Amino acid sequence: MALSIQRGIRSALLVALIISGLSLSAFADDEPDERPLVFCNSHWPPFSYGGPSGEALGGYAVRFLQEISARTQIPMDLKILPWRRCLFFARQGEVDGIMMLTRNREREAFLTMTNALLSDSNLLWYRKDSEFVADRLSFEDLQGMTIGLTSGFNYGDAFARASEQLGLDTEESPTILSNFRKLDLGRVDVFLVNKVVAEYSLKADPLLRARFTLRQGPFPPVGFHIGLAKNGQGIRHLKAFNDAISDMAALGVIETILNEDPLPSASGS
């Protein structure tokens, strides 16, 4: 009889411990993560500027994340890394997301995109005296030219397919400014880049800017999103991010940020 009672007590204690463990586990899942979410971007004026130690100094993407952090009360740590390393860390879940990028199938394999913060399209940039200056509204119209591209940039799945199918002559350079210098020297015939980034890249050299003109290309406007790493902690805050972005758009906060100096300290240096 005593042995039966002892077994009953042990069984009851075991059940109690299991229930207690489950309750604590559920409670722990509801506990906020005290660790700041880590987001990266490359040095990509005017969207993100990095300091010598990889700290985020400013830029539109940085300001958007700071605003979302303030609205959601989610702490964030913003870092500037080489672009390919930023993508790799996001794929591995070593960072919780990427501050700003466009979508394509490769990126959506490891990132969930928020609602778009803004949209823009790639344009065709030429030397003003080039024989090729023209709007080109189909990818076929890009044949017969050497096309300058920036390494690591997303030109869209449609361009990637057309480039392969049509055998487009493309040549990559590491930066936007190096592409413009190649365009100026006649080493490429046309350069593909959106207007916001191009104008900021040329801002310090108005004489170089004056030698270029731009035309429409076969690129529809694309959204610029925050990418939340599927292997990171940020993905569980997707709704909070989208709610904050919707409020920012409705209240004109996004437009206000885009009208600010993206790097205020630069104007005083």
Comparison of pLDDT for 24 and 254, the residue scoring more: 254
Helix (H) or strand (E) holding 71, with range, is helix 60-72
Q: Are residues 114 and 175 in the same domain?
A: no
Confidence of residue 10 (pLDDT cuts 50, 70, 90): low
Domain that holds residue 232: 37-119+222-263
Helix (H) / strand (E) containing 123? strand 122-127
- The verdict on 109 and 242 lying in the same domain is yes
pTM given for the model? 0.75
Residue 190 pLDDT level (bands cut at 50, 70, 90): very high
Alpha-carbon gap, residue 79 to 49, rounded angstroms: 10
Q: What does the pLDDT look like over 141-150, one tens digit per residue?
A: 999 999 999 9
Total Cβ atoms within 10 A of residue 57: 18
Question: Could you tell me if 111 and 43 lie in one domain?
Answer: yes
Q: How far apart are CA 79 and CA 151, in angstroms?
A: 20
Strand pairing of 111-113 and 222-229? Answer: antiparallel
Which residues make Cβ contacts (< 8 Å) with residue 85, sequence separation at least 6?
Answer: 40
Q: How many distinct structural domains can be found in the chain?
A: 2
Which one is predicted more confidently, 264 or 45? Answer: 45
Specify if 29 maps to a domain.
Answer: no
Single out the residue in 192, 215, 238 at which a domain terminates.
Answer: 215
- Same-domain pairing of 136 and 115: no
Q: In terms of Cα–Cα distance, which of 130, 157, 161 is closest to 145?
A: 130
**Measured torsion, CA atoms of residues 146, 46, 95, 69, in degrees rounded to the nearest 10:** -150
- CATH at residue 49: 3.40.190.10
